[in-house]
Amino acid sequence: MVEKVITLENVPLAEFLGQANENIRQLAQAFPQSKIISRGNEIRIQGGAPEILRINNLINLLLEHVDRFGHLTPENVKDYLDVEGVPFEEANRDQVIVFGNKGLVIKPKSPNQRKLVEAAVKNDLVFALGPAGTGKTYIAVALAVRALKNREVKRIIITRPAVEAGENLGFLPGDLQEKLDPYLRPIYDALQDMVPPEKLKYYQETRVIEIAPLAYMRGRTLHDAFVLLDEAQNTTSEQIKMFLTRMGPNSKVIITGDQTQVDLPVRQKSGLSEALRILKDVKGIGIVNLSGKDVIRHKLVKAIIEAYEKNQAEKDQIKNESPGRKSDR
């Protein structure tokens, strides 16, 4: 029997251990052949070497979760132990998507981000839906960079609707790239984490990586490419249909969006919502829903999102309970 002691330093113990050590108790139940004992700021593990290694790796992931999200619930522990019925060890094997600049390791940080990675492997078209801060765009960019590095595709094409400019970019100062920069800054930030500066500049100059407004996709066939449509909730029905029919041979497409942040005119319906309704039963299309649990920004962002979701749910309930409400047709 082997023993390993993990000392928890600079860790909020109450958050990590859970109420009445519930998180550690759940961990111990998942590994009945080993002993996991929590005392003060130490976790003592006794058991066989292979299982201790698994437990140690899992605890490191849970510590990383607390560091990023500021909390750890028994439900989070369960998610890490068992993602959709897949054993933890298998679910987290080879989880690194790509190695970025300065030793940055880019990998899914939550079970739903892992689902997004898996969906992109299994499907040529994936919808990634969720609020701001859930990492959907960042993971999508990482998957595109990996595909390019592995020579699975010849180019990356990233687009989004420039709603704030009404797609009428001609009135803005500068060339096309300068006009688009404010709308595409999150994309650039992600790429700069993953591709060395000189190589990124070369890729853009040679159009290996192309960043363009959605309006510029019209009339094209996007083949041998990894294509990302970001902020798709701000597309019209015509725009998203146009985009979806651009797919060519050997192409992968990820569409990201947050259906709670539509910036279209009040009477304009979101093309994303319509596309999801029409395509929900089409084989070969993956749909991944991320939530506040997946937020990787400041821990307050999660609380803010949950507060707004609660407020919206209360509004919907009041609306549904109104006595004079007309029935849906």
Boundaries of every domain in the chain: 1-92, 103-292
The tens place of each residue's pLDDT in the chain, 329 residues long, gives 788 888 888 888 888 898 888 999 988 888 888 899 998 889 999 988 888 888 888 888 888 778 766 778 888 888 777 644 444 445 454 578 888 887 677 888 888 898 999 999 999 999 999 988 888 999 999 999 999 988 899 999 999 887 654 445 555 556 666 666 666 778 888 999 999 889 999 999 999 999 888 888 888 889 999 999 999 999 999 999 999 998 999 999 999 999 888 888 878 889 999 999 999 889 989 999 998 777 766 667 767 877 887 888 888 888 777 665 544 44
The helix (run of H) or strand (run of E) holding residue 216 is none
What is the per-residue pLDDT for 327?
45
Are the beta carbons of 93 and 43 closer than 8 angstroms? no
- Overall fold of domain 1-92: Ribosomal Protein S8; Chain: A, domain 1 (3.30.1370)
pTM for this model (two decimals):
0.64
The pLDDT score that the predictor gives to residue 86 is 47
Strands (E), 85-220: 86-87, 98-99, 105-106, 125-129, 155-160, 209-213
Structural contact between residues 72 and 18, judged by C-beta atoms closer than 8 angstroms:
yes
CB 21: neighbour CB atoms within 10 A? 16
CATH architecture, range 103-292: 3-Layer(aba) Sandwich (3.40)
Q: How far apart are CA 192 and CA 1, in angstroms?
A: 46
Which of 117, 135, 123, 167 lies closest to 256 in space, CA to CA? 135
